[in-house]
Chain A
Amino acid sequence: DVKVTQSSRYLVKRTGEKVFLECVQDMDHENMFWYRQDPGLGLRLIYFSYDVKMKEKGDIPEGYSVSREKKERFSLILESASTNQTSMYLCASSLSVDGGSPLHFGNGTRLTVT
């Protein structure tokens, strides 16, 4: 069974802090994704990666960056956290790059920026 692990379930940070959200998957999946989930807005794609060291912007990349140095690990970085980045962050992975594979999600990190 695919396991996607996010390092923190809850996180509280101050405005201006640099924040790292870590995600690890154990199934050798090619694709990894970072979504944020806000009430009424569904899941919005921040960044995704289809290979090591490869990254692509999603629909809302502003204020975020990512890193994928190893196939199993995909990090989301908030360079300078702001209150409008308070949200639930979901990491996901999928097997193939053709859009035909289901996403496997981690448990999410609820980030609060004060």
Chain B
Amino acid sequence: GQQVMQIPQYQHVQEGEDFTTYCNSSTTLSNIQWYKQRPGGHPVFLIQLVKSGEVKKQKRLTFQFGEAKKNSSLHITATQTTDVGTYFCAGPAAGGTSYGKLTFGQGTILTVHP
């Protein structure tokens, strides 16, 4: 079945440093979604990328979707303590009917030291 791998599993940074998490799918994705889960909270949708090679920015966050639509990355510039949490990528398999079902990566846990 479809697998979505995410690295690294953990990342500790000093406040002000940059952070990147990478997501790789075993199958081509019709789209990729990114979610953030704060400690003690639930995953919250951040963004969706649809087009091959697409790049989107949200303030200090930059999201990329690979040319082959099998990988993606999230980059945070100059991390802040408010960025702490777990970042998940997720995607449905391309083709067929997924019924909205998403496969999630294992997540990257980001801690930021002030």
Chain A residues close to B by CB (< 8 Å): 30-31, 33, 35, 40-45, 48, 50, 56, 58-59, 90, 94, 96-108
Contact = CB atoms under 8 A, between A and B. Distances in A.
Given A99-B98, A100-B31, A105 B104 contact: no
A47 B56 CA distance: 31
Interface residues of B, number: 30
Interface string B1-38: 10000100100000000000000000000110101000
A103 B48 contact: no
Contacts, number: 77
B99 A43 contact: no
B85 interface: no
Contacts of A31: 99-100
A39 B48 CA distance: 25
B9 A40 contact: yes
Interface of B: 1, 6, 9, 30-31, 33, 35, 41-45, 48, 50, 88, 90-93, 97-107
25 contacts: A31-B100, A40-B9, A42-B105, A42-B107, A43-B104, A48-B101, A56-B101, A59-B103, A94-B100, A98-B98, A99-B31, A99-B92, A99-B101, A100-B30, A100-B31, A100-B92, A101-B100, A102-B45, A102-B48, A103-B33, A103-B43, A103-B45, A103-B102, A105-B44, A108-B42
